[in-house]
Amino acid sequence: MSQLTIKGGRRLEGEAGIQGAKNSVLPILAATLLTAEQVELRGCPRLRDVDASIRILEGLGCTARWEGENTLEVDTRSPGGCAVSEALMREMRSSAIFLGAILARCGQAELSYPGGCELGPRPIDLHLSGLRDLGAEIDDAGGVLHCKASHLRGREIVLGFPSVGATENLMLAACGADGVTTILGAAREPEIADLQNFLNACGARVSGAGTSAVSIEGGRPLHGCTYTIMPDRIAAATYLCAAASAGGDIFLRRAREEHLSTVTAALREAGCTIRSDAAGVSCACRERLKAVRPVRTAPYPGFPTDAQAILMAALLRCRGAAVFEENMFASRYRHVDELVRMGADIRVSGRAAVVSGVERLHGAPVRCTDLRGGAALCVAALAAEGETEISQTAHICRGYEDIARDLRALGADAAWAES
Ligand code: EPZ
């Protein structure tokens, strides 16, 4: 397993390109099942979760082939199966996103129940109740989901919570349903709009993404397409927070500030100068950061839960104290103990975490507890004196193509080493 070594204490100066969005490409890979023609995905990030999704497609009798660094050719002309193995469901919790597309394509599906993950329980009750509303028969006894959908019918569905995955699953299933489906209470994340744009590029008629009411005109035959994945807003947030943490002046090509405005608002409040245009987003930070108003995670357009650990890491040496409230997942402070090993002063009580700024951080051997918690360790290590060795980096590789490469492009001293 690779270990990541970061030598802190250097200001960041440089420019990096932002990879394609993990949380957009995963539902889009599931969506390729809705057409029997080839799909070419450009700007497709090379991630462990993308590899897992490719294995799921291959397990369904499809093929996927890399053409160049970030172009993936997907061929779903002759899917042979409708089951996703337990091993793959355990490898990637978000595999549940394949359920709607498999049902729409094959009329049946068999997936083992995705268990919890590092962030706590990951229920899919909203996914299942919505699919049942569309006419799917789902037997979820015994840890395996046996699903049949001989005839999906479009209708109005109300989501009690704006679940990203449930919204995406229902959009995909609705493409295979007769008539119009309207999802009320839909998630509004930018990745939902990217999925809508992909589906419409294949000939679907989806509208409303970005609002809480998404409409899908089902039953339309979908063709192949060439599509470019949107830039990853959480990767962009990570590198903006890296510059805030270490100080410096960076530019992120392809980043789109409108997708992470709550994060840039917090960084501006902390004292960073953020500028953005069509080409990307820059961040300059010369002074010690100031504390910011309480950060409460919420569904989009609220503060993204995926950026909570990352912003926390940037604020470890702020003047004053910063309060975080994690409202999306039950166990999303597992990175705190590792940050405390580096000298941070963080107190957790239930959903709240209070970060009291310290004068100095010091490098230490730390381990990733989850994807964004691992990224947070990198952000903190840039501001720490000395060397930080980060292990269990497989978590980071689920969502970042090569975080060491990107940090080096921004002027950091970061390198992989086989441990
Ligand atoms: C997506 O997860 C993202 N993953 C997560 O990113 C992100 O944190 C999350 O949305 C929130 O923005 C992908 O897109 C692959 P949810 P998802 O359904 O779809 C509860 C990362 O680091 N819930 O919006 O699983 C659930 O338990 C990952 O990139 C139900 O109760 O998120 C959670 O508390 C982590 N029942 C909350 O809703 C359901 O049926 C938000 O979940 C579904 C969800």
Q: Is 153 exposed, middle or buried (0-12, 13-18, 19+ CB in 10 A)?
A: middle
CA distance 100 to 108: 10
Calculate how far, in angstroms, residue 362's C-alpha sits from the geometric centre of ligand 1: 33
Total residue length of the chain: 419
CA distance 264 to 259: 10
Residue nearest to atom 42 of ligand 1 (CA): 163
Residue nearest to atom 6 of ligand 1 (CA): 306
Calculate how far, in angstroms, residue 299's C-alpha sits from the geometric centre of ligand 1: 9
CA distance 237 to 257: 9
The whole-number pLDDT of residue 360 equals 97
Residue nearest to atom 16 of ligand 1 (CA): 163
| pLDDT (mean) for 371-394 | 98
Question: Ligand 1, closest atom to CA 372?
Answer: 22
What is the pairing mode between strands 2-7 and 387-391? antiparallel
Tell me the best of 50, 140, 159, 328 to mutate to test the pocket of ligand 1, counting ligand atoms within 8 Å of each CB and taking the most. Answer: 328
N-terminal to C-terminal alpha carbon distance within the chain:
6
CA distance 199 to 214: 13
| pLDDT (mean) for 77-102 | 90
Contact criterion met (CB below 8 Å) for 401 and 19: yes
Residue 257 pLDDT exceeds 90: yes
Question: Ligand 1, closest atom to CA 129?
Answer: 40
Calculate how far, in angstroms, residue 49's C-alpha sits from the geometric centre of ligand 1: 15
Residues ≥6 apart with Cβ < 8 Å to 315: 270, 289, 291, 292, 322, 355, 357
The whole-number pLDDT of residue 145 equals 93
Calculate how far, in angstroms, residue 205's C-alpha sits from the geometric centre of ligand 1: 25
Calculate how far, in angstroms, residue 111's C-alpha sits from the geometric centre of ligand 1: 18
Calculate how far, in angstroms, residue 295's C-alpha sits from the geometric centre of ligand 1: 19
Residue 254 φ/ψ, nearest 5 degrees? 80, -15
The whole-number pLDDT of residue 419 equals 64
* Residue pLDDT, tens place only, 316-328: 999 999 999 999 9
310-336 burial by CB neighbour count: b if 16+ within 10 A, else e?
bbbbbbbbbeeebebebebbeebbbbb
Question: Ligand 1, closest atom to CA 161?
Answer: 38
Write the secondary structure of the chain as one string of H (helix), E (strand) and C (coil): CEEEEEECCCCEEEEEECCECHHHHHHHHHHHHHCCCCEEEECCCCCHHHHHHHHHHHHCCCEEEECCCCCEEEECCCCCCCEECHHHHHHCHHHHHHHHHHHHHHCEEEEECCCCECCECCCCHHHHHHHHHCCCEEECHHHEEEEECCCCECCEEECCCCCHHHHHHHHHHHHCCECEEEEECCCCCHHHHHHHHHHHHCCCEEECECECEEEEECCCCCCCEEEECCECHHHHHHHHHHHHHHCEEEEEECCCHHHCHHHHHHHHHHCCEEEEECCEEEEEECCCCECCCCEEECCCCCECHHHHHHHHHHCCCCECEEEEECCCCCCCCCCHHHHHHCCCEEEEECCEEEEECCCCCECCEEECCCHHHHHHHHHHHHHCECEEEEECCHHHHCCCCCHHHHHHHCCCEEEEEEC
Question: Ligand 1, closest atom to CA 305?
Answer: 8
174 CB neighbour count, 10 Å cutoff: 32
Calculate how far, in angstroms, residue 43's C-alpha sits from the geometric centre of ligand 1: 23
Tell me the best of 56, 99, 128, 161 to mutate to test the pocket of ligand 1, counting ligand atoms within 8 Å of each CB and taking the most. Answer: 161
What angle is formed at CA 267 by the lines to CA 265 and CA 273, rounded to 5 degrees? 95
158 CB neighbour count, 10 Å cutoff: 12
The whole-number pLDDT of residue 312 equals 98
Residue 78 pLDDT exceeds 90: no
Indicate the pLDDT class of residue 246, thresholds 50, 70 and 90: very high
Q: Show which residues are catalytic.
A: 117
Residue nearest to atom 7 of ligand 1 (CA): 306
| pLDDT (mean) for 216-244 | 97
- Rg for the chain (alpha carbons), in Å? 21
* Residue pLDDT, tens place only, 283-295: 999 999 999 999 9
Residue 1 pLDDT exceeds 70: no
Q: Which residue has the higher pLDDT, 402 or 68?
A: 402
Residue nearest to atom 8 of ligand 1 (CA): 306
* Residue pLDDT, tens place only, 171-211: 999 999 999 999 999 999 999 999 999 999 999 999 999 99
Tell me the best of 163, 238, 368 to mutate to test the pocket of ligand 1, counting ligand atoms within 8 Å of each CB and taking the most. Answer: 163
Q: Ligand 1 site: residues with CB under 6 angstroms?
A: 22-23, 26, 94, 122-127, 161, 163-166, 187, 305-306, 328-329, 371-372, 399
For the four alpha carbons of 300, 403, 47 and 31, in that order, the dihedral sign comes to positive
CA distance 253 to 147: 43
Residue nearest to atom 43 of ligand 1 (CA): 124
Q: Is 418 exposed, middle or buried (0-12, 13-18, 19+ CB in 10 A)?
A: exposed
Residue 335 pLDDT exceeds 80: yes
How high does pLDDT run on average in the chain? 96
| pLDDT (mean) for 149-156 | 96
* Residue pLDDT, tens place only, 103-152: 999 999 999 887 667 888 889 999 999 999 999 999 988 889 999 998 99
Residue 41 pLDDT exceeds 90: yes
Calculate how far, in angstroms, residue 23's C-alpha sits from the geometric centre of ligand 1: 10
What is the pairing mode between strands 144-148 and 137-139? antiparallel
Question: Ligand 1, closest atom to CA 329?
Answer: 34
For the four alpha carbons of 364, 365, 371 and 375, in that order, the dihedral sign comes to positive
| pLDDT (mean) for 87-97 | 89
Residue nearest to atom 28 of ligand 1 (CA): 306
Tell me the best of 164, 306, 400 to mutate to test the pocket of ligand 1, counting ligand atoms within 8 Å of each CB and taking the most. Answer: 164
Indicate the pLDDT class of residue 16, thresholds 50, 70 and 90: very high
